[in-house]
Amino acid sequence: MKTALSANDIKQMLRVATGSTLGFALSKLLDWPNGIFFTLYPMLILGLVPVLNAHIVRQFAASAAFCAIAVLVVQGLFGFHPALMVMLTFTLFAFLFYQMSKGVNFLFGAISLVGLSIQLHFASYSTSGVSIYQLIFSNILASVVSLLLGYLMHWIFADVEPRQSMVRPPKDSASVRHEVLLCASVSTLSFIVFQIFDLQDSLSAQAASVLILFPLCWKAAGMAGWQRIIGTLIGCNLALMAQLILLDYSHILLFPVIVLWILTFAFARYHMLNNGIPGVGFGIITTFGILFGQSLLPNQDLVYSALYRFSSVCIAIIVSLSAIYLIHYGLNYFTITRHHTFD
C-alpha cells in the first residue's frame, strides 16, 4: 500500500466521486428505475481502471449487450425450468470468469458479472411487479450514461502525467481452469441459494458473494472477503450517520447528493492508496453506491437497509468463503486443475 497520493490519484478520486454522484442525481431527478445501476456503474468504470480508451469502451459496451441477451435467454426462455436455468447460469459465469482469468478482457468479465448477477436476481421476481424489460432497459441506459460520464470526468479531471501500463504475469493453463471452475461454481451456488430461499431484499449480499471472487483464488479471496466485511461495516455506519444528519431532508435531492460526493471522495483515497486494487476502500464506496442508489427512495430511509445489509453481507461472505475453501482444495487434488498458489 502506498503512503502518499500522486496528482493522478487525486484526479481519479475526483472522477469517481463526481461521476457516481452525477449518475445518482440523474437517476433520482429523472425518476429512472433501478438507480443502483446509475450509481454503481460509474464507480466501476472510473474506479477499476484509471484510463478510458477504445478497448475499455468496447468492453463496457459489450458487457451491456451481453447482460441484456443473457437475461432475456436465461430468465425469459428458461425461467420456468430451474435445472436448465442453473446450467446456463453456470456456463455464463464460467465464460465471464475465463475472460477475467486471461486478463485481456478483465473489465468486460467483471462488469458483466456484477450486472448479470443483479439482473438475474431482480428478473427472477418479475412476477412480483419487476418488469424484465424495464430491468434490461435500465441496465443499457445506465451503461450509456456511465460511459458518457466517464468521458466527461476524464475531460474535466484529466490525468496530470501519463499512466504506466500494467504488465500481467503469465498464468499456466491449470491455474486458469482452477479459477474458472472455482469461481463459476461458487457464484452459481450463490445464485441457487438466493433463489431457493426467496431472498428478494438481499441484493447487496448476493452482489458481495460475487465481488469477493474477483481475486479469482482462495488466498486472495479470503483477504477480499475480510476487506469486504470491513468496508461494508464502515460504509453502513457512515450511511447511518448521514441519515441522522439529513433526518427528514433526505427527500431534498441536493442534500443526499452532497453527502454522497463527500463520502465517496473521502474514502476513494483509501482505494487509491491501495493502488486502485479493490479492497477496503472500494468496499466502502460501493456500499455507498448500493445504499444510496437502491435504498434511498422518497418514502424510505437508509436505517433498516444499512443494518440489514451489513448482517446479510457478513453471512453471505462467510458462507461463500467456506464454499471457496472446499472447492479450492478439491480442485487442487488434480494436477490438471491445480492452482499455482497451492502449497
Alpha carbons 95 and 114: distance in angstroms, whole number: 14
Domain residues of the chain, as ranges?
7-159+174-337
Cα Rg of the chain, angstroms: 19
- Helical axes 303-331 vs 173-196, angle rounded to 10°: 140
Q: Which residues of the chain have pLDDT under 50?
A: 129, 298
Can you give the pTM of this predicted structure?
0.84
For position 302, what pLDDT does the model report? 56
Q: Look at residue 300 and give its three-state secondary structure.
A: strand
For position 63, what pLDDT does the model report? 93
For position 226, what pLDDT does the model report? 74
For 228-282, write each residue's pLDDT tens digit: 677 777 777 777 777 677 666 667 788 888 888 998 999 899 889 888 777 777 8
For position 13, what pLDDT does the model report? 95
For position 129, what pLDDT does the model report? 47
The answer to whether 8 touches 163, Cβ cutoff 8 Å, is: yes
For position 306, what pLDDT does the model report? 62
